[in-house]
Copies of this chain bind each other. A is one copy, B any other.
Amino acid sequence: MHDFEFYNPTKIIFGKGKENLIGKVLKDCGIKKVLFVYGQSSIKKIGLYDRVISSLNENGIQWVEHGGVKPNPVLSHTREGIEKAKKEKVDAILAVGGGSVLDEGKAIAVGAKSDVDVWEYFHRDKGITDALPVFTILTLAATGSEMNGYAVITNEETQEKLSIGSELIYPKVSILNPELTFTVSKEYHAYAAVDAIAHTIEWYFTCTVCPNLENRLVESIVKTVMETTEKILQNPTDYDARAEFMWAATLALNGITRTGYAGGVYVNHMIAHSLGALYDLPHGACLSIVIPAWMWWYKDKNRKQFDRFAKEVFNLPTAEEGIKALKNWFSKVGAPVSLQDGKIPSSDIDKIANHVYNTTAKLWGLDKIYTVDKIKEILYLALRSNTL
State whether A243 and B211 are in contact (beta carbons under 8 Å apart), knowing that A217-B217, A256-B256 are contacts in the complex.
Answer: yes
Q: Tell yes or no: A263 within 8 A of B by CB.
A: no
Task: Kindly identify which residue among B10, B211, B220 contacts A240, using a CB–CB cutoff of 8 Å.
Answer: B211
Q: Tell yes or no: A227 within 8 A of B by CB.
A: yes
Task: Kindly identify which residue among B9, B244, B260 contacts A212, using a CB–CB cutoff of 8 Å.
Answer: B244
A247 partner residues in chain B, CB cutoff 8 A: 1, 211, 213, 259-260
Q: Tell yes or no: A374 within 8 A of B by CB.
A: no
| Copies of this chain per assembly | 2
Smallest Cβ-Cβ distance to A1: which chain B residue: B243
- Residues 249-277 of chain A, each 1 if its beta carbon lies under 8 Å from chain B, else 0: 00100001001100000000000000000
Q: Tell yes or no: A3 within 8 A of B by CB.
A: yes
- Residues 1-43 of chain A, each 1 if its beta carbon lies under 8 Å from chain B, else 0: 1111111111111111010000000000000000000000000
Interface size class of A (residues with CB under 8 A): 35 or more
- Residues 204-221 of chain A, each 1 if its beta carbon lies under 8 Å from chain B, else 0: 000000011100110111
Asked if residues B14 and A211 are in contact (CB atoms below 8 Å), the reply is no
How far is it, in angstroms, between the C-alpha of A239 and the C-alpha of B1 when the chains are bound? 8
A260 partner residues in chain B, CB cutoff 8 A: 14, 243-244, 247
Smallest Cβ-Cβ distance to A259: which chain B residue: B247
Smallest Cβ-Cβ distance to A222: which chain B residue: B216
Task: Kindly identify which residue among B5, B11, B12, B213 contacts A220, using a CB–CB cutoff of 8 Å.
Answer: B213
Smallest Cβ-Cβ distance to A7: which chain B residue: B11
A15 partner residues in chain B, CB cutoff 8 A: 2-4
Asked if residues B9 and A9 are in contact (CB atoms below 8 Å), the reply is yes
How far is it, in angstroms, between the C-alpha of A178 and the C-alpha of B2 when the chains are bound? 11
How far is it, in angstroms, between the C-alpha of A19 and the C-alpha of B248 when the chains are bound? 33
How far is it, in angstroms, between the C-alpha of A247 and the C-alpha of B211 when the chains are bound? 11
Q: Tell yes or no: A159 within 8 A of B by CB.
A: no
A contact residues vs B (CB 8 Å cutoff): 1-16, 18, 178, 211-213, 216-217, 219-221, 223-224, 227, 239-240, 243-244, 247-248, 251, 256, 259-260
Q: A3-B16, A5-B14, A256-B256 are in contact. List 18 more A-B contacts (CB 8 A).
A: A1-B178, A1-B239, A1-B244, A3-B14, A3-B15, A4-B14, A5-B13, A6-B14, A7-B10, A7-B12, A9-B9, A211-B244, A212-B224, A212-B244, A213-B224, A213-B244, A213-B247, A247-B259
What are 22 A-B contacts defined by CB distance under 8 Å?
A: A1-B239, A1-B247, A3-B14, A3-B18, A4-B12, A4-B15, A7-B9, A7-B11, A8-B8, A14-B260, A211-B243, A211-B244, A212-B224, A212-B244, A213-B220, A213-B251, A216-B224, A217-B217, A219-B220, A220-B220, A243-B260, A244-B260
